[in-house]
Structure 1
Amino acid sequence: MATVSTPPIDHAKSIFADLGYTVSGDGEEFRAERKWRVVRVTAVTDSDDTPDDGDLRCFVAWDEQASELRNRLRRADPEYEWAVIGVEDGGDYEVLRAPPSPASAV
């Protein structure tokens, strides 16, 4: 089982590097860049704090915390596009996407 108090930083960087992104930055937040897209990636644990700014954001959490994080983000309804990646200790992961915005349904 994953250590819940330690964010999955190495897994997050590995996932984005494997997807062809250039990863830069240290700590629990970094930038992942590919072509025109820049994603601010935050590796999180059980913190209630989510950033208020950005255009594209991805939160990477341990699998057992990912659904709750997605629910918190849905309730907060931030202005930016977001996704949550739930990571298992072995490295497998699942992407939990944000609900479509009303503007994109038009």
Structure 2
Amino acid sequence: MGTVTTTPSEEARSIFTELGYTVSGSGCELRAERKWRVVRVTAADEATELPESGELRCFVAWMDAAHDLRDRLIDAKPDYDWAVIGVDSTGEYDVLHPSLGPSLLV
């Protein structure tokens, strides 16, 4: 991967803001709200511990770690709805969901 000038947390905030969410929080844990929907957003890497509970969760990771994170979540079978956003060094991203291929998060 090329030189990265932002963090996964900054990328997460930017993506959710562009999608029309109000984003609050700091560090690796953010809260994104839009209409009735509240999404807990975690800036993640290979060492991130998976939360045991929640409702809607999104994990944002660099693309090279996103597929492994998705596989970990599939294996863990958490009791919450989740998606992983894989971001590349240019800011482009893919959304990885347990039952779908890459898609856009709306």
Q: Does the alignment reach a TM-score above 0.5?
A: yes
Stretches (4+) displaced over 4 A: none
TM-score normalized with structure 1 length: 0.87
Q: What's the secondary structure of 1:42's corresponding residue?
A: strand
The residue aligned with 1:85 is 85
Task: Return the alpha-carbon distance in structure 2 between the equivalents of residues 69 and 29 of structure 1.
Answer: 16
TM-score normalized with structure 2 length: 0.87
Larger CA Rg, structure 1 vs 2: 1
Q: Note the alpha carbon deviations across 1:44-75, whole angstroms, 9 max, x for none.
A: 11115100111000000000000000000000
- What RMSD, in angstroms, separates the aligned Cα atoms of the two structures? 1.8
Percentage identity across paired residues of the two chains: 59
Q: Which runs of 5+ in 2 are unaligned?
A: 101-106
The correspondence of residues 7-86 of structure 1 with structure 2, limited to 5 A, is: 7-86=7-86
Q: What's the secondary structure of 2:26's corresponding residue?
A: coil
Change (3 A) 1:2 1:73: farther
Q: Which runs of 5+ in 1 are unaligned?
A: 101-106
Task: Return the alpha-carbon distance in structure 2 between the equivalents of residues 99 and 7 of structure 1.
Answer: 27
